[in-house]
Structure 1
Amino acid sequence: MCRRIAALALSMMIAAPVAAQQSAPPPAVVVAPAAMTELAETVRFNGRLDAAQRVGLVPRVSGVLLDVAFGPGDRVQDGQLLFRIEPDLYQTAVREAEGALLAAEAQRELARIERDRQTELVGRQSAAQSALDNAEAALGRAEGDVLRLEAALERARLNLSYTEMRAPFSGRIGSSAMDEGALVGPETGPLATLTRLDPIHAEFAVPTATLRDYLERVEAGQAAREAAVTLELANGSTYPEPGDITFVDSAVNAGTDSVTLRARFANPRGRLLDDELVRVTLSATAPEGVLAVPQQAVQRDVQGAFVLVVGEGETVEQRRVEAGRTAQGLTVIEAGLEPGERVVTEGVNKVRPGMVVDAAPAGDG
C-alpha cells in the first residue's frame, strides 16, 4: 500500500511541471522581415560642430551702459538693437562739429569773394599780383579748414552711432557681461557673444586612405558630396537633415595621417549647437539595393553569425548567415536569408530553436 502511494506521488510530481509547461503561453518576441533596402557604404568618425559666424560685441566708444535690450540666449535679427550707451556727450560733440563747420564754410565764402575781387583788380591793373596770390592762398586754407571740419563732423556722427550696438547678423546671443549702469568702453572687452547657427558646419578628420577612396568614387560618379553626411547627436538621436561636403583641407595632418573635412547642415531651428561633439557618418558610395535586417537581429558565436527566424507554425529556427557591413542601424545579409523571412529583433534571449513564439511585427504598439 505504501509503495502504491509513493509511486502515485512521484507520478504527480513529474506530471505537474509538464502540465504547467504545456499550459504556459508562448514567449512574446518582436520580428522584422529581411528586406531589400537602398543602403550606402558608410564610415563613421568623431566630429565637432562649428558655427558659421561668431563675434564678440565690443563697444567702440566709452560711456555708461543705459540699456541691455535682449535676454540671455535670445534669437536676434540682423540690425536689432542690443546695447545702448549714454549718447549725451557724443550728441554734444556732433553739434560742436556742425557749428565749427558752418563757421569754416562762412570763412571760405569770404575768402572766395576776396579772391574774386583781387582777380578783378589785377585785371584792371589796380592791384598788385601779390595781393591776388595772397587771396588765393587764403581761399585754399579756408577750403582745407572746411574739409578738416567735415571729417571731424563725420567722426563725431560715427561716434554717436556707436552708442547703439546692433546685431551684425541674425543669430543667437549669449548673456551680457555687464549690467545696465556700468561704465563700458573698448577696453572692457566683449559685452556678449553673437553666434550664427544656421547653417552650421561639422568638422571631422578622415584617414588619408579613406579620403582617397571616397574622392575617387566621387570622380567616378559612385558617390557624391551633396547629402553625403549624417549626424548622430550626444543622446544617440539622428539629425534629420543630411549635410553637404563643402571643404577638404589641402594638407595632411602628419601626426594622424588624416585630412580635415567640413560638412554644412541647415539648422533653422537651432537644434545643433556650436562646439557640440557629434558622430559623423560619411556615405562612401551611392546607395544600392541590398538585403538587410535590423542590426540587433544578428547574433554571433564561435561558429560565426546567425539569426533566429520565425517560420511556419510560429516556430523558431536558428539560421547561419553571412553578415556584411552595418549602416544606418541595418546589417547587410550576403547569404542565408530570403526577402520576407522574419527575424527576431527583440526577445532573442527568451527563445531557443524549436520553440513556438508569439511574434509581433516591429513597430506595433
Structure 2
Amino acid sequence: MPAPPKGKRAFAFGGLGGFNAHGVGFLEAARELDVRPSIITCTSGMIDWVARWLDGEELLPLLRQQIQRSNKFPVPLDWMNSLWISWFGDPGIFRPAVPEYWRRWMTPFAPDGAQAGDEQHRRKLAKAFLDRMFPAQLYVPQRGRADVERIARAMNRSEIPVVFNSFHPATGLGYLHVNEAGRDFLGVEYGEAGGGDKYLPIDADAVTAALWLYFYGFEHADNPRGLVDGAYNRQFIIRELYMVDRIYAVRPINTRWIGTLPANYFEIQDFTTELWFNSAYAAETGQMALINRLIDEGKLLDDRFRRVDLTEIQVERQYGYFDFFVEEMAVYERSHRQSLETLREKEGVAVAELVEMA
C-alpha cells in the first residue's frame, strides 16, 4: 500500500452477527483504491476480517465460502437460514451447547448452606431450575487456538495501528487491546486507563475474549479472564481518534429505522437491538460533533483540537431479526459499490471504472 496523503484517516468497523460482509465490502474497496488507514479500530466479528486483510488475504473467496456454508435455503425460504444456524450452529464459529445443557441437569443442586424449606433455599432452588431449563450458555465457540493465535499474530506484526475491545462484566471495565504500532500512535502505555477503558496488548486470549458472545455463557474454562465481546459495550471505537482528520465509520446498521415501524414481536427485537447499538454510537461520536461545531462557530481556537470528518458507510436497507447471523452476497455488493464511490469522492482517487455490480 502507498503512504497515506497529508492528513490522518481511520477505519472504524463495527461487528454485528451476519453483517460482516458490509465491512468486507469496504476493506476490499480500500484495497482496490490503495487507500491506506493511519489506524484501524474494530469490534466483534470484524476482528478476524481485519486480521486477514492486514495479512494480504483475498477476502471475497473466503466470504463466498462462508455464505455458501450458511445459506442452505433459497428464496423464498431464505428466512430459514437463520433458524438453521440457531438450531445447528455455524460450522467453525459455534455449535449448540447441547451436551452442556444435559450436563447441567445431571449436576446435583448445592444449596450452599441454606436450610431446606426456608425462603433462601426456595429462591436458590428456583434459580437452579431456571439455570438448567434456560441457561445463559446456548452455544460453544468453535474457533481453535491456532485460529485466534493467527489473528493476534497478524495484528501484532502489522505496521498499521490496530485496536479492538473487550469488556469485563464483573467490574464494568472496558479494555482496548492495541498492537505496538497502535500504542505508539495513540501515545499510551499498557495498563494505562484512558476515557474509562484500559489498554492491554493483543494476544490469543484477548482475541478469544473479544469474540466471546453472551450466548457462550460466563463460566467457560476457555475464557479464563472472564471477558466478553466488547461490541456489546462499544460497537465502535471512535472517541479515542481525536488526532485523525477523517474517520470512515463502517456501520452494519443504519442510524435510522428504514421502512415501516415494527408491527410484531420479532421486529421489536430487531428494533431494540439496533436502538441499543445506535445509542452507544451516538455517545461515541457526541463529543466529536460538539468539538466540530465549536470549531465551525469559532468558539474553540485551541490548536490541540481539530475538526474531524466523520464519514459513515451504512447499511441502507432494513434487515430483520432473522438476518442477524446469515451473511449475504448482496450486502457485500452494496457495501463495495458504496465504499468505492465514497472513497473516490473523499480521497480524490482516480479509478478507471467501478466494478460492475449485479
With normalisation by structure 1, the TM-score equals: 0.25
Larger helix proportion of the pair: 2
Rg larger for: 1
With normalisation by structure 2, the TM-score equals: 0.25
